[in-house]
């Protein structure tokens, strides 16, 4: 084992309590959706993961289908656990999910008990772990009774295969119902994982109220709108950027003049705050105490370090917030 975690790893990170639970999450968590698959450079993935842990990031977010190919991001973390992180397992929160297409046939996706139980068993094998810390239903399933999905999550907690459970991409109404079912089963919903960024504010309308009322935490995914809310595309689409790659969900057609007009205006405010746009976009999410953690993605160690520095300036003046609202429209 040639990795020794930094002694200073808990000096600067901020930790926030997750809902009404016993655990705190780092204000910034790291997601392995992109850049940690078998198609990616393992040495780069290793560099990022080591640096993240050294910066106090204790929470690593995955899903069965992260890669590509599907499953390979979990294998990358499994390799890292074996090589570097085994002594630190009890300092880490490892989460995974099931719900998007993973294998062929009628049981390979969505949120039946069959899919969720089989998928978590597969994930544990890829991680080479006995349990994960958080297991999510990745998306609501229109064809499975909510009771069945929640009972499957409750079962997995009782089997010791996950410590906590969460839901992702559930509407406010679905969340309210899920939380009530889980309460009746005796397994609380720890956390909701919604998309939330300056460019996608749907959670502010109803979801946050439901979460607050029920003391459920939240972790905001794609906080940089997959890279749009950074300086990445200010001068076109650089080689190696997410929008330049064939796989993934950010495409050149998303980089419109209208979006770039907003990005430039936001970038000017970030500069006046002596922050990068990425740092400001993360700080802006953390302005709301109902956000337990912001779940970032990175392709390099430099991006990771840049984004984590957002924590040194989380304050916004009333004027800045008004101007940002106006730009976002």
Ligand X SMILES: NC(=O)c1ccc[n+]([C@@H]2O[C@H](COP(=O)([O-])OP(=O)(O)OC[C@H]3O[C@@H](n4cnc5c(N)ncnc54)[C@H](OP(=O)(O)O)[C@@H]3O)[C@@H](O)[C@H]2O)c1
Task: Report whether the peptide linkage leading into residue 68 is cis, meaning its omega lies within 30 degrees of zero.
Answer: yes
Q: How far is the CB of 6 from ligand X (least distance, A)?
A: 20
Smallest gap from residue 1 Cβ to ligand X (A): 26
Q: Which is nearer to ligand X, 109 or 184 (CB)?
A: 109
Name the minimum Å distance from CB 244 to ligand X: 8
Q: How far is Cα 11 from Cα 8, in angstroms, rounded to an integer? A: 5
Please state the φ and ψ torsions of residue 166, each to the nearest 5 degrees.
-145, 170
Contact (CB, 8 A) for 195 and 220: yes
| Residue in the block written with tokens 């772990």 | 129
Q: Which is nearer to ligand X, 206 or 231 (CB)?
A: 231
> Is the CB of 176 or the CB of 231 nearer to ligand X?
231
Shortest Cβ 250–ligand X spacing (Å): 8
Residue among 179 and 296 whose Cβ is closer to ligand X: 296
Q: Quote the tokens at residue 162.
A: 């996950």
CB of 184 to ligand X, least distance (A): 25
Omega cis (within 30) before 69: yes
Q: Which residues 6+ apart lie within 8 Å of 279 measured at CB? A: 270, 306, 307, 309, 310, 313
* In the complex, minimum distance from the CB of residue 19 to ligand X, in angstroms, rounded to a whole number: 17
- Whose Cβ is closer to ligand X: residue 69's or residue 87's? 69
Nearer to ligand X, 295 or 324 (CB): 295
Q: Which residues lie near ligand X (CB under 6 A)?
A: 31-34, 61, 138, 168-169, 193, 221-227, 230-232, 241-242, 276, 278, 295-299, 303, 306-307
Residue 180's CB is within 10 A of a number of other CB atoms, namely 14
The CA distance from 69 to 235, in Å, is: 31
Rounded CA-CA distance 286/315 in Å is: 9
């Amino acid at each position: 084992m040639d990795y020794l975690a930094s002694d200073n790893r808990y000096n600067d990170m901020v930790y926030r309590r997750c809902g009404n639970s016993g655990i705190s999450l780092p204000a910034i968590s790291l997601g392995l959706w992109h850049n940690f698959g078998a198609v990616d450079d393992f040495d780069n993935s290793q560099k990022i993961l080591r640096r993240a842990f050294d910066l106090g990031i204790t929470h690593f977010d995955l899903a069965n289908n992260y890669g590509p190919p599907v499953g390979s991001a979990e294998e990358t973390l499994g390799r890292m656990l074996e090589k570097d992180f085994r002594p630190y397992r009890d300092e880490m929160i490892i989460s995974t999910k099931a719900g998007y297409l993973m294998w062929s046939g009628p049981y390979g996706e969505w949120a039946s008990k069959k899919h969720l139980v089989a998928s978590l068993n597969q994930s544990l094998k890829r991680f080479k772990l006995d349990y994960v810390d958080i297991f999510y239903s990745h998306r609501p399933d229109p064809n499975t009774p909510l009771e069945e999905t929640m009972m499957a999550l409750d079962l997995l907690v009782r089997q010791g295969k996950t410590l906590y459970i969460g839901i992702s991409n559930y509407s406010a109404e679905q969340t309210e119902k899920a939380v009530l079912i889980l309460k009746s089963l005796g397994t609380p919903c720890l956390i909701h994982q919604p998309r939330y960024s300056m460019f996608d504010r749907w959670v502010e309308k109803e979801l946050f109220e439901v979460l607050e009322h029920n003391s459920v935490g939240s972790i905001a995914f794609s906080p940089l709108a997959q890279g749009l809310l950074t300086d990445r595309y200010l001068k076109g689409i650089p080689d190696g950027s997410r929008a330049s790659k064939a796989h993934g969900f950010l495409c050149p057609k998303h980089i419109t003049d209208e979006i770039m007009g907003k990005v430039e205006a936001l970038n000017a405010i970030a500069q006046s705050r002596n922050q990068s746009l990425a740092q400001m976009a993360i700080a802006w999410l953390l302005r709301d105490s109902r956000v337990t953690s912001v779940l970032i993605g990175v392709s390099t160690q430099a991006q990771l370090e840049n984004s984590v520095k957002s924590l040194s300036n989380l304050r916004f003046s009333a004027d800045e917030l008004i101007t940002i609202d106006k730009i976002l429209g």
